[in-house]
Amino acid sequence: MRVLDPLDPLEPLDPLDVDEDVPAAVEARLGEMLERRLAEAEATDPVFAADIAARVAQFALAGGRRLRSELLWWAMRGCGGEDAEARRALGAAAALELIQTCALVHDDVMDGSSLRRGRPALHVVLDDQFGSGGRELPCGTFGGAAAVLAGDLALGWADDAFAECVHGSPAATRAYAIWRAMRTEMVAGQYLDLRAQVTGARSAGQAVRTAVLKTALYTVGHPLALGAALAGAPERTVRRLREAGRSAGLAFQLHDDLQGIFGEPAVIGKPVGEDVREGKATCVLAVARELCARQGDRAGLRLLDEVVGAPAAGTRDVARVLDLLVSCGARDEVAERIEELCGDGAEAVAAAGLSPAAADRIGLLLRGACGLDPGGTRPAAEESVRDGAGGRGPIGEDR
């Protein structure tokens, strides 16, 4: 696909062409923008450009589903966006991919994750380059400290890209407000996640609150709202899409939680049981505690206390926790909730006044992101989901 400059009014752009392959169009826009940023980095300092800037660009361009970009695009199209709005939407989508780069690079440092997308994490690559993995600094290793700078650079590039794409737009003020809220909420959610690990927070309500801020709004709610705002949609439509995305985005995070515990290492790009050993404040673990308490399963609660958050926990102990998550019903409870939340989100999108084609496309994207087959009623990754259970179970922010 030919590289497009969405800020050049003389550059021909047919939104119907982008409709055929949104990720490819976003990657073309992102590649063009990164080419300019890398030239600026090279002029600043060649070593910095090679060690940090080039790796940030490679990370942004390699892998990822471009889910946020597609949701933004289809919300824009569903609200009647045409040529001018399409140009701005491509720029905003590129900015989203860069802020995601920042989030993932920093997340790997905070979690001490050695893998990302099946490849060595950026901080590991930097430590390997200089043989500095075993030399601790006050803030970790050299690779960790340098990766923090790499994430900062990605965030700076993201802000620059977003400012460029909305400059002169009638929707600039509304779009900036959504962008600022997204950045703040993402950081707040990440902090709550870290805080829960160090304080041992265990409630399902707190886990949901963290997931809403860290993932749900950032991954689904705000991209949908940005697309609608850039298209000049009424404020009620923007607000409805943001709230619809909150439900579907929470389903996405719950699916990610299940994958992080039960998924295949080759697929999720990290060892099985890492979330258990790290004591991640996931909803599935919080639900397991509530169900064990409700069932009077003291042995199950003791197992969770001893293994969850224990970095030295052995493979056998982690396997016992996984068995407990199945036997107590936590996995099935979360799988059911994924289906309900994703359905709620898709229905809300359909009722938001978007064009039927765009609403259908968004619905398909949400089901795929949540591990649900397009026409089915169960998470595709789950083999056993309890049937006939009434109510929504213990997952909820009011708990």
Residue 16 pLDDT:
93
**Entry pTM:** 0.88
3 belongs to a structural domain: no
Instruction: Specify whether 193 is located in the same domain as 91.
Output: no
Which residues share a beta bridge with 223?
none
Instruction: Specify whether 164 is located in the same domain as 177.
Output: no
* Domain end among 169, 194, 213: 169
pLDDT band at 279 (very low <50, low <70, confident <90, very high): confident
* Domain end among 169, 187, 214: 169
Instruction: Specify whether 154 is located in the same domain as 181.
Output: no
Cα–Cα nearest to 282, from 199, 210, 380 = 210
Instruction: Specify whether 156 is located in the same domain as 289.
Output: no
- Domain span at residue 314 reads 172-399
pLDDT mean over 356-379: 83
Task: Please state the domain count of the chain.
Answer: 2
Instruction: Specify whether 97 is located in the same domain as 184.
Output: no
Summarised one tens digit per residue, pLDDT across range 209-268 is: 999 999 999 999 999 999 999 999 999 999 999 999 999 999 999 999 999 888 877 666
Give the range with max mean pLDDT: 4-8, 222-226, 274-278, 382-386. Answer: 222-226
Classify residue 62 by its DSSP letter.
Answer: S
Summarised one tens digit per residue, pLDDT across range 88-104 is: 999 999 999 999 999 99
pLDDT band at 74 (very low <50, low <70, confident <90, very high): very high
* Domain end among 140, 169, 198: 169
Instruction: Specify whether 113 is located in the same domain as 185.
Output: no
What is the Cα–Cα distance from 69 to 60, expressed in whole angstroms? 13
Instruction: Specify whether 214 is located in the same domain as 296.
Output: yes
CATH of the domain at 275: 1.10.600.10
Residue 11 pLDDT:
63
Instruction: Specify whether 275 is located in the same domain as 361.
Output: yes
Residue 397 pLDDT:
38
What is the Cα–Cα distance from 14 to 19, expressed in whole angstroms? 9
Instruction: Specify whether 76 is located in the same domain as 109.
Output: yes
Instruction: Specify whether 59 is located in the same domain as 198.
Output: no
Instruction: Specify whether 222 is located in the same domain as 143.
Output: no
